[in-house]
Amino acid sequence: MSGLFVTFEGIEGCGKSTQTALLKKRIEAEGRKVVVTREPGGTATGEKIRGILLDPTNTEIKNVAELLLYAAARAQHIDEVIRPALASGAIVICDRFADSTTAYQGAGRAIERHFIKQAHEIAVRDTWPDLTILMDLPAEYGLERARATRELDRIENEPLAFHRAVRNEFLRVAEHDPLRVRTVDATRTVEELSETIWRIVEPHLP
């Protein structure tokens, strides 16, 4: 038996977490088992790594160390949670995954593309999502929304140019992999987005 692996991606304040919860509800209403998880995190080890990565006082973390910490959390997450859940036939919904590394560490931190690819080869191997919803919106809107709801973490505190580069890289990933990555306009209302996302996901449910 094999489930379905769906990921949500996008810049800060794009509304992924809200849509993750709404999609979970809709799939559960169809009587299916859903596992909702997130990156970095999703396991005890991953949540500890998340603490290191997002702590605003950890100003000394170097770019390659950051890349490897995200990859380490991901490797643990895949083996401990994602693969077993998919093998049991569950629908796995993950709030951020490897495309975030491509966008944030690849474009935001400007780490060379072949290093990003190697990190994916080690951490992700063949566990790529079946479907990725990219919630796209201008970086300034997203940051404004994020700022209105919480204290910004270490990555969110990066300047606007960083977040613009991240957004552009997400769009580039979507352009290169249009069958897997579906872009939605995240400036629309929560209800409109939920409908659009459901129309994308429902035909893929096993």
Residue 130 engages ligand TMP in binding (rule: CB under 6 A): no
Pairing of strands 181-185, 34-38: unpaired
Give the x/- contact pattern for ligand TMP in 154-173, rule: CB under 6 A: -xx-----------------
Which one of the spans 78-86, 101-109, 112-120, 198-206 is the region binding ligand TMP (CB under 6 A)?
Answer: 101-109
Which one of the spans 22-30, 95-103, 112-120, 179-187 is the region binding ligand TMP (CB under 6 A)?
Answer: 95-103
Q: Which of 6, 19, 39, 139 binds ligand TMP (CB under 6 A)?
A: 39
Beta-carbon contacts of residue 2 (< 8 Å; ≥ 6 apart): 86, 87, 89, 206
Q: Which of 5, 23, 34, 104 binds ligand TMP (CB under 6 A)?
A: 104
Residue 77 engages ligand TMP in binding (rule: CB under 6 A): no
Which one of the spans 38-46, 78-86, 180-188, 189-197 is the region binding ligand TMP (CB under 6 A)?
Answer: 38-46
Residue 7 engages ligand TMP in binding (rule: CB under 6 A): no
Q: Is 152 helix (H, G, I), strand (E, B) or coil?
A: coil
Give long-range contacts, CB 8 A cutoff, 24+ apart: 43-48.
43/73, 43/76, 43/77, 43/80, 43/81, 45/73, 45/76, 45/80, 46/73, 46/74, 46/76, 46/77
Task: Please give the size of the binding site for ligand TMP, defined by CB under 6 A.
Answer: 12
Beta-carbon contacts of residue 110 (< 8 Å; ≥ 6 apart): 63, 165
Distance CA 30, CA 35 (A): 14
Residue facing ligand TMP at closest CB distance:
104
Minimum distance from residue 29 beta carbon to ligand TMP (Å): 25
Tokens of 97: 């995954």
Distance CA 181, CA 59 (A): 32
**Residues engaged in binding ligand TMP (CB under 6 A):** 12, 38-40, 70, 96, 100-101, 104-105, 155-156
